[in-house]
Amino acid sequence: MTDQYAVIGNPIGHTKSPLIHGLFAEATQQAMSYVAMEGPLVPDDGFERMVRAFAAEGGKGINITAPFKLKAFALADERSERAALAGAANALKFENGRIIAENFDGIGLARDIEVNLGVPLAGKRVLMLGAGGAARGALLPFLAAGPAELVIANRDVAKGEALVAEVGSGGASVRARGYGDLPALGRFDLVVNATSASLTGDLPPVPPGVFSPTGTAYELVYGKRLTPFLRLARNAGVRGIADGVGMLVEQAAEAFAWWRGVRPETSAVIDRLTVPLD
């Protein structure tokens, strides 16, 4: 019998997850199906009913995308440390009547940067723009990689400070600052835009002086070509710029391995989905 998996979001028409997991299943010879399902925004319990119905019908796991990551986290009976820190889940697994929550966004991001882009985080100065769910999910994998310094820049500095207090240092220097503080902090080896600004064509108020010409600028949004953030970085002379397509595929590979017990190779799938930035 073919095992059933799905992704739930709203809207969901843009999702690449069925394609990605279909390619993974073919490459690893896994007997599984994977479909996209549009989750209900109302009533409030509609998402929970959909998840439980999918599990009751024999479903093995679900990926979760916006706007249901917080609801998926709240629904779970068991949560990983990564999911707990993020306060959100992007993957669920159903075992023995229990719902287990994970969040692979951060580990997918870290793997794309370190493995695919060849940019080690150890000993580097890292600037994270934003203190929302995307930033929260990235912190544990980033700190595990051993940067020398990690600065979280956010309009609401108190929110960033609360996140720093929650996560601890992991041996690195971790601090929260406002955007107005950034000019005094010098250049960073890696600048990650974890805000949602690029979704609407906006630019977070980051000064160009934070970029190192020999460093990397990473945009979590994917498929938008040269976003205002990446354009700012390029105009500042940054050699390495990247969007989030690699993160998308790597987090999917982590979920696939969690569900199926085998981690697929990702480079061919990343190449297939990559949109030129120019």
* 60 annotated binding-site participant: no
* 255 annotated binding-site participant: no
* 90 annotated binding-site participant: yes
* 209 annotated binding-site participant: no
* 133 annotated binding-site participant: yes
Spatial distance between the Cα atoms of 271 and 148, rounded to a whole number of angstroms: 31
Spatial distance between the Cα atoms of 18 and 89, rounded to a whole number of angstroms: 18
Q: If we measure between CA atoms, which residue out of 201, 200, 195, 159 comes closest to residue 177?
A: 159
How many contiguous H segments (helices) and E segments (strands) does the chain have?
10, 12
* 130 annotated binding-site participant: yes
* 61 annotated binding-site participant: no
* 251 annotated binding-site participant: yes
Q: Which residues of 21-53 are buried (b: 16+ CB within 10 A; e: fewer)?
A: bebbbeebebebebebbebeeeeeeebbebbee
3-state secondary structure (DSSP) of residue 62:
strand
* 59 annotated binding-site participant: no
Which one from 69, 71, 93, 124 is the annotated catalytic residue?
69
| Eight-state DSSP code of residue 264 | P
* 17 annotated binding-site participant: yes
Spatial distance between the Cα atoms of 108 and 140, rounded to a whole number of angstroms: 12
Task: Centre a 10 Å sphere on the Cβ of residue 15 and count the other Cβ atoms it contains.
Answer: 18
* 123 annotated binding-site participant: no
Bridging pattern class, strands 3-9 and 32-38 = parallel
* 65 annotated binding-site participant: yes
* 267 annotated binding-site participant: no
Helix locations, the chain, DSSP H: 17-28, 46-56, 69-75, 81-86, 105-111, 133-144, 157-167, 228-235, 245-260, 267-273
Helix locations, 125-223, DSSP H: 133-144, 157-167
* 161 annotated binding-site participant: no
Contact 64, 93 (CB under 8 A): no
Question: Is 69 a catalytic site residue?
Answer: yes
| Catalytic positions | 69
Binding-site residues for NADP(+) sit at: 81, 130-134, 220, 244
Binding-site residues for shikimate sit at: 15-17, 65, 90, 105, 222, 251
Binding-site residues sit at: 15-17, 65, 81, 90, 105, 130-134, 220, 222, 244, 251
